[in-house]
Amino acid sequence: MLAEYSEEIMEVFKKTAQLNTGAKIPLIGLGTGAVDQNEEVIKAAVTTALQVGYRHFDTASSYNSERPLGEVLHMAFHNRLVNREDVFVTTKLWSTQHDDPVTAIKNSLKNLQLDYVDLYLIHLPVRFRKEVPMSAVLDRKPTKLGTDVNPYSGPEEDYFLPLDMKSTWNGMEQCLEMGLTKAIGVSNFSSKKIEDLLSHAKIPPAVDQVEMHPQWQQKKLRDYCSKHNIHVSAWSPMGAPNTPWGSNLVMDDPLIHEISQKYGKTRAQVMLRWGVEQGVSVLPKSYNKDRIFSNFQIFDWSLTPDGHDKIGMLKQVKLFRGDAFVNSTTGPYKTVEELWDGEI
Instruction: Tell me which residues are annotated as active site.
Output: 63
Pairing mode, strands 24-26 and 16-18: antiparallel
CA–CA gap between residue 132 and residue 128 (Å, rounded): 7
- Residue 113 gets the label, from left (phi > 0), alpha (psi -120 to 50) or beta, of left
Measure the N-to-C terminal CA separation of the chain; round to a whole number of Å: 35
Query: What sign has the CA pseudo-torsion 57, 24, 232, 201?
Result: positive
Own/partner pairs, 40-44, CB within 8 angstroms, 24+ separation: 40/68, 41/287, 42/68, 42/69, 42/287, 43/68, 43/69, 43/71, 43/72, 44/287, 44/289
Q: Are 35 and 139 in contact (CB under 8 A)?
A: no
CA–CA gap between residue 261 and residue 187 (Å, rounded): 34
Q: Are 64 and 133 in contact (CB under 8 A)?
A: no
